Chain A
């Protein structure tokens, strides 16, 4: 209202009534019933599947752990168990993980894009935004209430998914910090959901149409995920540089997984730089004709080479989560503020 010059009568304008949270909660529930029922219902259906499938996978994984501890891979029962796990459970888990990766944008865009765009399409904004409650307050209340509901639902779902996917980290040569696992668990999953929701609301207000807003939200989300993927190797958490036999741990199933190796290189035993071509020839030789009882590390050591890795240990999972969820939350608040600005200045 910056253009309106005449001062208001003091006392009446200076203390606007607080946001009517209870009333707005009723309104939000009444108007977003479809979203508030459909999103938890779909998530619950998927959750039931994840629990059933996940229990089976965890059970199978426990068998694999026993196999590698007690008998090696040789026994018939064990090789059958390994085969089953790799050929049937693995691909299914992969498909699930791709769907779960898209879940934040599906939830967020479905809830966010119509929030304001439908009011603008139907013309009902002219009703709602001329009532006694200032329109920014209505929109803030709806964004906060719906956003909170989505964050809770997504948070619970993300935890379930990360439990479900744990046995597959080994077969997929992944860890909890890998793309596709890291951002489908912990705080990051609900944070992405919240960002997608606010982006949907913002673009809905900008385009004033539901369908274009939905489509654009999907595009923006994919760009964001790409950006996060590029960024999340650069987060300021302490890394470890060492010559532990990390690659060796890929050989046997072992919860909770492995470190995230950022890069690795070779030196001689006394730390001098080596010709990478010579090492890669040895590695290729080993891979085409692996020694059954000698690890690659040991073979390399026989030739006087030692492998070094710079990696992020799994203990950095939560710091990484806080960093990524943090900037996503700041982004969500910023986009939410932009939405409210549009509501104030571009209502009609």
Chain B
């Protein structure tokens, strides 16, 4: 099952497109990292998959073909929006009761226990909690809905390093225990590298990269060699990013065969996820060609894994 499928999805505000022509397939079981510079359309994509924003063009479905925003989609998708909005004048306990009333399924004992573990008192106004506690409250409410897809928009921004680790640990636990799929946007690329196994890069309202992390790492190499012959060599490769020095040039290239030999004087290195992300973000014009999984799109509801 694909937890998210979008087809030529677009959203226009006034004259400018916040997201355009985004065709994306996210299979179930992943923790997908959504990265991109500010204003690249990350929140717009998430709002549309959560059913909050109505697309200008294209379609978005979740959980195996349910239109985003439909009752079945809302029932199975939990969304924690940017800045973890909670009703500031309601107590944590009231927030819990409110969420229970708005959902057919809500695990109250789990939510109470988790808030107790986090040291968040039920009688305290949500607005009086720290930013980190508000994020944790929002995550707790989302997890207690027992969703099949969890969408988290910049959840780490308000958290200190320890809280970040705890937060991600809680998300990972939900993935392993309940089989929740996760889409998470963040600027903390280094932190995502440890947990994400699927990467989506957005840039300038366009989808740049979407794929499994292992495939991306296997499909990219960093080649280092003399600048003098770099242009000639680069002409034969699919270069994502070129970093040119006086003597040496670094080429981050896409390759189907990571073990392919390199010319004399050149070295081939493995790349880290952060290097791949940074290379694509610095070259917003370059986008990944349609991955092999895209060929199977005629039956989009079938598992692609």
Contact = CB atoms under 8 A, between A and B. Distances in A.
Interface in B115-158: 138, 145
Nearest to B78: A130
B102 A27 contact: yes
B53 A347 contact: yes
Given A4-B60, A6-B65, A27-B101, A348 B85 contact: no
Instruction: Bin the interface of chain A by size.
Output: 35 or more
Interface stretch (B90-98, B213-221, B287-295): B90-98
A122 B99 contact: no
Interface in B100-121: 100-105
B54 A8 contact: no
Interface stretch (A18-26, A173-181, A228-236): A18-26
Nearest to B86: A127
A62 B272 CA distance: 94
Contacts, number: 125
A9 interface: yes
A1 B86 contact: no
Given A127-B86, A134-B74, A13 B54 contact: no
Contacts of B51: 130
B69 A1 contact: yes
Contact of B74 (A9, A125, A133): A133
B67 interface: yes
Contacts of B87: 31, 122, 124, 127
Given A1-B54, A27-B98, A132 B103 contact: yes
A4 B68 contact: yes
Interface string A102-128: 000000000000000000001111111
B85 A3 contact: no
10 contacts: A1-B70, A5-B59, A6-B59, A6-B65, A9-B64, A16-B71, A26-B98, A27-B101, A123-B85, A134-B71
Closest 8 CB pairs of A and B: A23-B101, A126-B81, A4-B67, A132-B103, A131-B102, A16-B71, A130-B79, A12-B72
Interface of B: 5, 47, 50-61, 64-72, 74-75, 77-79, 81-83, 85-88, 90, 94, 97-105, 138, 145, 300
Interface of A: 1, 3-9, 12-13, 16-17, 20, 22-24, 26-27, 30-31, 122-134, 138, 344-345, 347-348
